[in-house]
Amino acid sequence: MNIKAFRIIGTILILAVIIVAAPVAIPRLVGISSYNVISGSMEPTISVGSIVYVKGQDFDKLSVGDIIAFNSGASVVTHRITAIDSESMLITTKGDANSEEDFTPIAYTNVIGKVVFHIPVYGNIAAMVSETGGKVVAAILLILGTIFSMVGEEKQKPQNVNPKIFLVLGLVIVFGALAGFTYIYFGYKQSNDLYASINTNYVQISDSEQWQDLINVDIQKLQEINPEVVGWIYVEGTDISYPIMYSADDEKYLHTTITSEYAKAGSIFLEGYNLPDFSDSHSIIYGHNMRNLSMFGSLKYYKTEDNYFDDHRYFQIITKDKKMRFEIFSYFDTEAASWVYTVPYSDSQDFEDYIAELLAHSYIKQENSGTSVSSADTVVTLSTCSNTGMRFTVHGVLKETVSGN
């Protein structure tokens, strides 16, 4: 292979890195966010694997028919507006592929913005590049491109387009991406260190045979750190042991810790429409599905590991004045804006029907559950993202309550 061929290959490699990275990096400079579409709810308009670009929009500029992105618990959903309640600033949405509108209207405060355009397929590429392995591959390609483009440089006549221009552009993008990865890595570490410290200083774990003695949490001291701490969640026998935050909206603690600092992992938090004392018949608690298994990352084991359900049937919610033990009776994947996210309920036929749906969709064979649930019970749903593009939900029914903590 001659020198000219090497230089052409080098230039192509550098250009390839720029072309792959630019559609993610450049829009951010003009205030446009991008999201990878992992659900088919907007097909055929927006297919799975697309990347959507979202720009903030004032409420009075939104119209029926617009496609918007909005926060739904710990997830971002992209659906089309079907109705707008201007007085209460509530927006009804629907996925183009769904037969019915999303069950619950969304508040404007949860709207990220309007989808201004999208690129099919590229979302999958962007997702791969954003992974550690993708960044490494991009760096390797850039290095190879640099080496190839400089082969025999001292013997070549000056060219109209200097490959070094592409090199500089590629370096800026790749090192920017690497800087972002480093920022995320240390964010993970900072978050892990924070919650490890909290568990060390404010939580006591024992191997008692009595469930109420397995964990003790100083909620009052935690509320001195942040008065929006409303409780603590502990999935027995696991590392899921975190404070529960409540701010009456579903956005504040998506990426904010108990100490009010930014973190990718955010916090575990209670649905904004629920009462913070867990007195609703149905409450929802959200947490991110982190790659390092922190937060709600290990919930996935209920559907991937044999016997995991049998060994981890219970979770606790601890407040300042009581401990509650819930028995898991259902878990399954669902759409981000599905009927599952309906709160609150009361002892009614509607709630009875809701519970029947939870049981009907459950991955647990009912003969293996052995748990009875009725509309007179208190149900708590744990929700996180799923790698399938859906949301994974775990449902527990209150079995025992003890006063004190």
Q: What percent of the chain has pLDDT over 70?
A: 86
Q: Phi first, then psi: what are they for 218, rounded to 5°?
A: -85, 80
pTM of the predicted model as reported, rounded to 2 decimal places? 0.73
User: Is the model's pLDDT at 200 over the cut of 60?
Assistant: yes
In angstroms, the CA 70 to CA 211 distance is: 39
Taking residues 21-30, report their average pLDDT: 82
User: Is the model's pLDDT at 296 over the cut of 80?
Assistant: yes
Helix axes 122-130, 3-28, angle to 10 degrees: 100
Residue with tokens 């997702």: 127
Question: Two tokens at 213?
Answer: 């003695």
In angstroms, the CA 215 to CA 224 distance is: 20
Beta strands in 195-265 (DSSP E): 203-205, 215-217, 229-235, 241-245
Q: Which residues contact 311 (CB under 8 A, 6 or more apart)?
A: 237
Confidence of residue 140 (pLDDT cuts 50, 70, 90): confident
For 239-287, write each residue's pLDDT tens digit. Answer: 999 999 999 888 899 889 999 998 888 999 999 889 999 999 999 999 9
The CA-based diameter of the chain, rounded to the nearest angstrom, is 85
Q: Which residue has the higher pLDDT, 10 or 57?
A: 57
Which of 22-26, 228-232, 278-282, 357-361 has the weakest average pLDDT?
22-26
* Closest C-alpha to 78, from 89, 66, 90: 66
Question: Two tokens at 35?
Answer: 């999201």
Q: Which residues contact 264 (CB under 8 A, 6 or more apart)?
A: 184, 187, 188, 191, 255, 288, 290
Of the spans 100-104, 370-374, 382-386, which averages the highest pLDDT?
A: 382-386
Confidence of residue 152 (pLDDT cuts 50, 70, 90): low
Confidence of residue 145 (pLDDT cuts 50, 70, 90): confident
User: Is the model's pLDDT at 46 over the cut of 90?
Assistant: yes
> Is 12 in contact with 164 (CB distance < 8 Å)?
no
